[in-house]
Chain A
């Protein structure tokens, strides 16, 4: 499955996908409860701001337990972590976009984002990508700022 990227994903602990899924849901429900703990719950008749989210969070926990329990009754696939680099590259590109866009403007940000995203794939050809990045950056600036008149920063001084 992941030969393309070398070592197999870590199948430590031999957890089945269903089990991890159940745990995830349970944790999500707990997170919901924690986040809305401080909100007034009120009663069924006069619901406070917290009633609905808390009820839903509880429900989610129950689903988590249910799915996790079911995972023991049948043989499911094992959970594997995917290789890190593509995820890091794509998420890194998005983070950079968020940090840079308002600071250095559209054209440099687009270029940087595309190049960092390029790190995700081993098939990236850097010259091609760089050219595409510059072209797209300029086209976007022309289309959004010039033609549509949106108040977006194009460089860091405008």
Chain B
């Protein structure tokens, strides 16, 4: 323990050097601004700004890239709150209550809670890395294909909890999401499935057009076609800061979210995503008035934001301790290190302690900077969403299109945006909720991959899911959670039936 603190102190010495402070600030700023643009999530942002770091020293460039990463993570939440536009998968959950808060004139409050929660989570998660990186890595190693599959199943059940309306409809959305997730190539044979001969979707449909089509565009149209609610909202004064009551409710949610995010973020692949909506589901289940969820419950913003920022930090762990990137953003960071002549590998901590500890310390600094950058901006954002809607919505639409195009430099993504906007509008008219669909879409891809992979490992033996203890526990939890979610609904219906 003492060792860790000594090293951390050394790390701060590196992080607080003026040039590293500058790079952290620059990175966080650039990441935030670009991440705010719909469609440009952390991955695209980091990839775009990668060349900027070519001329820097390794430690400095890592600090800057890390800043860009969590800056962009935060930027994605901004659009989720202001315009129901999830920048990437992890922001979908923020849309649910964050956007409702904005509609109620509490946008400033939502943005502030998101910023504060993210900062807290980021710093705590960083300390977690400092203290527990190696044991956490070993924990992550225990997760193989069967464990991932079971975790995703649990995640899917949690996705159902997210829905406000009928469970039946939420389940239907989950199933639809799973179906859409099959578009792309078969994970094993690479055989193209339902790709209509379009190679750009042979790797599956990218999440950005799906998210924008399901969330942003229908919302845009809804505000145009039924503007009465908007008129009432514009008249409300937009608060810039949370109330005492909101703080009181939010901070325990932040702590819980941080815990979940820190642990799940280590799991390479979908860990960080799962953590944001697992956090939401937990909050909804333990809240005193769950009816508020979906209508601007502040915990619904605080917990997922904390969770996804904590997850973003701990997702560095596999890269730093093993040298193996846990997700696409980490892979780009690994590439940046390789360019500098550093092979990310198991030796990085011991061979280049100033890199590891300097990076960690700068994460603390960077998260604090995010707060410094973003809190004053809240006033600006609030002014921005009060721009007359007749001017705002074409701008939002154009940025959606631009962001979507830039994902793969291809108009195919625009056609995807069209298709999913159509789907999103249909769902809206039929009173379905998009969140469970979006989540099951993302999870579905990983689920099938891991399901088939597990069967490859076991050479066709289904028992592998039960024989592996972690997997068995996860599956059992999923079943239990499902029952907890469905039974009250059934009980309610029986009560109603009896009363009649």
Are B401 and A94 in touch, CB under 8 angstroms? yes
Are A25 and B418 in touch, CB under 8 angstroms? no
Are A67 and B411 in touch, CB under 8 angstroms? no
Assuming the A-B contacts A56-B182, A60-B172, are A35 and B409 also in contact, with contact meaning beta carbons closer than 8 angstroms in the complex?
no
Size of chain B's interface in residues, with CB distance under 8 A?
Answer: 59
Residue A28 at the B interface, CB < 8 A? yes
Closest to A111 in B: B398
**A60: contacting residue among B179, B397, B401, B426, CB under 8 A:** B179
The B interface is mostly helix, strand or loop, or mixed, namely: helix
Residue B239 at the A interface, CB < 8 A? no
What is the bound-complex CA distance between A21 and B433, given in angstroms?
A: 12
Are A21 and B432 in touch, CB under 8 angstroms? yes
What is the bound-complex CA distance between A79 and B186, given in angstroms?
A: 38
**B421: contacting residue among A21, A59, A91, A123, CB under 8 A:** A91
Residue B490 at the A interface, CB < 8 A? no
The A interface is mostly helix, strand or loop, or mixed, namely: helix
Assuming the A-B contacts A47-B452, A49-B186, A140-B402, are A28 and B179 also in contact, with contact meaning beta carbons closer than 8 angstroms in the complex?
yes
**A94: contacting residue among B34, B171, B189, B421, CB under 8 A:** B421
**Quick one: which of A139-158 are within 8 Å of B by CB?**
140, 144, 148-152
Residue A8 at the B interface, CB < 8 A? no
What is the bound-complex CA distance between A4 and B411, given in angstroms?
A: 35
Contacts of A87 in B (CB 8 A): 221, 425
Are A114 and B395 in touch, CB under 8 angstroms? yes
Count chain A CB atoms within 10 A of each CB in B49, B193, B389 and give the residue with the most.
B193
Known: A53-B194, A98-B414. 4 other contacts (CB 8 A): A4-B225, A21-B169, A93-B397, A152-B406
Q: List chain B positions with a Cβ less than 8 A from chain A.
A: 34, 48-49, 51, 168-169, 171-172, 175-176, 178-179, 182, 186, 188-189, 191, 193-194, 217, 220-221, 224-228, 388-391, 393-395, 397-398, 401-402, 405-406, 409, 411, 414-415, 417-418, 421-422, 425-426, 429-432, 448, 451-452, 455, 460
Q: List chain A positions with a Cβ less than 8 A from chain B.
A: 1-2, 4-5, 17, 20-21, 24-25, 28-29, 32, 35-36, 39, 45-47, 49-50, 52-53, 56-57, 59-60, 63-64, 66-67, 70, 77, 79, 82-83, 86-87, 90-91, 93-95, 97-99, 101-102, 106, 110, 113-115, 117-118, 120-121, 123-125, 128-129, 132-133, 136, 140, 144, 148-152
